């Protein structure tokens, strides 16, 4: 128990997100409810303190080697107390996966109904993706599993620490089909989108027959040509095409109409997205075009965050951008969806960031960096659920806009301002959805950098601690030595004193004996004592 609370001793362990209540220093309500007998003060053999000792010991024991399965028989020999009670605690901890989480399944496990089923359930719960760092329980919210998780990568291995949004959700984006909210038919040719809730869509037929659904009027819908959006999006690029694209980009800058014409086989959108996907695409943007439009480098990041929906400011910010809201002809009075200009980050900002990350990860150990990036990605996945929704909806709605003015960015009415600000850099670009992975990657990198920096700081602090401890120990040692020396001095002094004492005594004795000798000699010489002599001399005159 002592060890586990020693800050120098902290290691990272994963526990499932549904056990996130666990804390070394506290007993949670869940524990109190499940193991009431410890908390009803019915006996001195069952107190919260004893429970905590049991719990901490069992968990520590498991963590000595998390890869093996801890058995009850192993634990109980070291715990004093009622066997059944300890067993209950053990089962409780096991059921919450606080122990034996990473351990291999026992194959002869007939206590748990349907071993294989249980395993699957665990995957659905999202445990692997919801793993969290115990040392800092409040930093992450439980994370919902991204859809990729379901098809069985299973055991909690993240695809790659910095997997981009695109990598993760590409399948989803492709698979997504629009289904009419009224007739449930698929809207292949085109559809009308309900602007208040972008997930609601009706097909052309339903719109024409004014079959809008409850509480919705014609004015709330906006035309959306899905056939284009689902068209040749996913088609692969050949090498020749890519070369052609690069060539034409170098030649024409970001005049995408011309570029697309040059590439011929691909649409303008495809060209843009491909270029961004290319590893050096962002560089091309920065260097290749003389007249930056999409990437307005003059705008600082902070100003991006504060971009308001104020249209005057919007038009002011960049003259090239036209805030044009193309509406379907027969819905004139529609309130235009809120729009705003979005300026991407300066591309080299990400480069320096990457450098920062790599520098930071050089400083700390690789495992710390990897766990930091893992945590970062997990947090991003959680956060980006909202942007993803926006993304999915806008994906359809925007291509129409994109066809005329692809620079226009549309932010959907994000719920609260805080969110808006946080996602300001993330809100998907309507036309080029590949900015999302870029932005995401950037955020992931930022988060990783922060995490790594925090870990490094922690390490430094720990080191400092150790140094201080060491110094204090040293000081104490020195003091002890000093005291010892003093003691020795005092002892020496004492010895000397004793010696002197003895000498003194000897001296006294010898003096005495000398005196005796003198006296004896006097007596033997017949000389009277001083007193006698005095009387003699006193009497002398009387004697004639």
Residue 205 found at the interface with other proteins (CB under 8 A): no
| Number of Cβ within a 10 Å radius of residue 372 | 26
State how far the alpha carbon of 354 is from the alpha carbons of 347, 350, 387, in Å: 11, 6, 23
| Paired tokens of 443 | 């955020």
Binding other proteins (rule: CB under 8 A), the pick from 29, 33, 67, 73 is 73
- Cβ contact 441:168 at 8 Å: no
CB of 116 vs other proteins, minimal distance in Å? 18
Residue span binding other proteins (CB under 8 A) among the ranges 41-49, 221-229, 239-247, 354-362: 41-49
Residue span binding other proteins (CB under 8 A) among the ranges 39-47, 412-420, 433-441, 522-530: 39-47
Tell me the β-bridge partners of 132: 15
Q: Between 57 and 252, name the residue whose CB sits nearer to other proteins.
A: 57
Residue span binding other proteins (CB under 8 A) among the ranges 15-23, 103-111, 202-210, 342-350: 103-111
Per-residue burial over 493-515, b = 16 or more CB atoms within 10 Å of its CB, e = otherwise: eeeeeeeeeeeeeeeeeeeeeee
The residue count of the chain comes to 544
Binding other proteins (rule: CB under 8 A), the pick from 28, 87, 308, 529 is 87
- What is the Cβ-side half-sphere exposure of residue 380, based on CA atoms within 13 angstroms? 25
Residue 527 found at the interface with other proteins (CB under 8 A): no
Q: Between 105 and 488, name the residue whose CB sits nearer to other proteins.
A: 105
Calpha distance 537→528 (Å, rounded): 11
Which letter does DSSP use for residue 99 in this model?
Answer: S
Residue 325 found at the interface with other proteins (CB under 8 A): no
CB of 41 vs other proteins, minimal distance in Å? 10
CB-neighbour burial class of residue 329 (10 A; exposed 0-12, middle 13-18, buried 19+):
exposed
Tell me the β-bridge partners of 222: 193
The alpha carbon dihedral of 504, 506, 512, 515 has a sign of negative
CA 526 to mean position of chain CA atoms: 112
Residue 466 found at the interface with other proteins (CB under 8 A): no
Residue span binding other proteins (CB under 8 A) among the ranges 37-45, 129-137, 147-155, 433-441: 37-45
Calpha distance 371→289 (Å, rounded): 38
Residue 104 found at the interface with other proteins (CB under 8 A): no
Calpha distance 444→179 (Å, rounded): 33
Residue span binding other proteins (CB under 8 A) among the ranges 83-91, 381-389, 422-430, 530-538: 83-91
CB of 58 vs other proteins, minimal distance in Å? 10
Residue 117 found at the interface with other proteins (CB under 8 A): no
State how far the alpha carbon of 199 is from the alpha carbons of 176, 192, 218, in Å: 11, 11, 16
Block residue for tokens 């003691």: 487
Residue 59 found at the interface with other proteins (CB under 8 A): no
Residue 43 found at the interface with other proteins (CB under 8 A): yes
Residue 106 found at the interface with other proteins (CB under 8 A): yes
Calpha distance 249→243 (Å, rounded): 10
Calpha distance 145→162 (Å, rounded): 16
CB of 458 vs other proteins, minimal distance in Å? 29
- Cβ contact 454:291 at 8 Å: no
| Paired tokens of 227 | 């056939």
Residue 74 found at the interface with other proteins (CB under 8 A): yes
Residue span binding other proteins (CB under 8 A) among the ranges 51-59, 266-274, 415-423, 450-458: 51-59
Binding other proteins (rule: CB under 8 A), the pick from 13, 32, 53, 213 is 53
C-alpha closest to that of 293 among 405, 442, 394, 403: 405
CB of 9 vs other proteins, minimal distance in Å? 17
Binding other proteins (rule: CB under 8 A), the pick from 29, 33, 67, 84 is 84
Per-residue burial over 83-95, b = 16 or more CB atoms within 10 Å of its CB, e = otherwise: eebbebbbebbbe
Residue 539 found at the interface with other proteins (CB under 8 A): no
Residue span binding other proteins (CB under 8 A) among the ranges 84-92, 307-315, 397-405, 511-519: 84-92
Binding other proteins (rule: CB under 8 A), the pick from 25, 64, 108, 418 is 108
CB of 47 vs other proteins, minimal distance in Å? 8
Residue 81 found at the interface with other proteins (CB under 8 A): yes
Residue 47 found at the interface with other proteins (CB under 8 A): yes
CB of 419 vs other proteins, minimal distance in Å? 47
Residue 39 found at the interface with other proteins (CB under 8 A): no
Residue 83 found at the interface with other proteins (CB under 8 A): yes
In the complex, the residues that contact other proteins under the rule CB under 8 A are 1, 37, 40, 42-45, 47, 50, 53-54, 57, 71-74, 76-85, 87-88, 106, 108, 111
């Amino acid at each position: 128990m002592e060890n586990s609370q020693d800050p120098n001793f902290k290691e990272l362990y994963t526990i499932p997100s549904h056990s996130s209540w666990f804390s070394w220093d506290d007993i949670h309500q869940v524990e109190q409810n499940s193991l009431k007998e410890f908390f009803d003060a019915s006996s001195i053999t069952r107190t919260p303190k004893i429970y905590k000792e049991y719990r901490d010991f069992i968990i520590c024991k498991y963590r000595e080697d998390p890869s093996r399965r801890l058995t009850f028989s192993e634990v109980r020999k070291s715990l004093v107390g009622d066997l059944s009670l300890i067993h209950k605690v053990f089962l409780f901890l096991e059921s919450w996966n606080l122990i034996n989480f990473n351990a291999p399944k026992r194959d002869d496990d007939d206590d748990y109904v349907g071993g294989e089923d249980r395993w699957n359930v665990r995957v659905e719960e999202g445990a692997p993706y919801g793993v969290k760092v115990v040392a800092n329980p409040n930093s992450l919210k439980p994370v919902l599993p991204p859809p990729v998780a379901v098809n069985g990568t299973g055991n909690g291995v993240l695809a790659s620490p910095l997997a981009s949004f695109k990598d993760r959700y590409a399948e989803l984006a492709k698979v997504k089909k629009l289904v009419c909210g009224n007739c449930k038919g698929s809207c292949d040719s085109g559809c009308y989108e309900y602007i208040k809730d972008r997930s609601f869509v009706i097909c052309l037929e339903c719109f024409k027959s004014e079959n809008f659904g409850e509480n919705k009027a014609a004015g709330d819908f906006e035309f959306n040509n899905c056939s284009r959006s689902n068209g040749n999006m996913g088609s692969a690029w050949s090498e020749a095409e890519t070369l052609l694209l690069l060539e034409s980009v170098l030649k024409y800058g970001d005049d995408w109409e011309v570029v697309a014409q040059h590439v011929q086989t691909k649409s303008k959108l495809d060209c843009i997205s491909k270029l961004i996907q290319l590893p050096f695409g962002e560089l091309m943007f920065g260097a290749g075009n003389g007249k930056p439009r999409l990437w307005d480098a003059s705008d600082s990041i902070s100003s991006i965050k504060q971009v308001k929906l104020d249209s005057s400011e919007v038009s002011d910010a960049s003259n090239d951008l036209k805030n044009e809201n193309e509406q379907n002809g027969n819905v004139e009075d529609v309130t235009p969806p809120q729009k705003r200009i979005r300026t991407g980050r300066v591309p080299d900002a990400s480069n320096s960031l990457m450098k920062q990350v790599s520098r930071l990860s050089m400083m700390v150990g690789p495992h710390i960096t990897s766990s930091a990036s893992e945590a970062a990605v997990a947090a991003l996945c959680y956060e980006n659920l909202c942007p993803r929704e926006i993304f999915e909806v806008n994906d359809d709605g925007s291509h129409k806009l994109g066809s005329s003015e692809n620079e226009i960015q549309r932010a959907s009415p994000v719920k609260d301002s805080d969110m808006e600000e946080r996602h300001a850099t993330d809100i998907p670009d309507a036309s080029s959805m590949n900015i999302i992975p870029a932005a995401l990657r950037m955020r992931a990198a930022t988060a990783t950098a922060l995490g790594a920096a925090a870990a490094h700081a922690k390490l430094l602090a720990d080191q400092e601690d150790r140094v201080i401890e060491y110094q204090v120990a040293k000081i104490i040692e020195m003091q002890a030595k000093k005291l010892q020396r003093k003691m020795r001095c005092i002892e020496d002094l004492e010895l000397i004193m004793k010696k002197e004492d003895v000498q003194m005594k000897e001296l006294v004795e010898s003096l005495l004996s000398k005196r005796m000798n003198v006296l004896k000699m006097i007596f033997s010489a017949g000389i009277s004592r001083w007193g006698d002599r005095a009387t003699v001399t006193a009497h002398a005159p009387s004697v004639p």
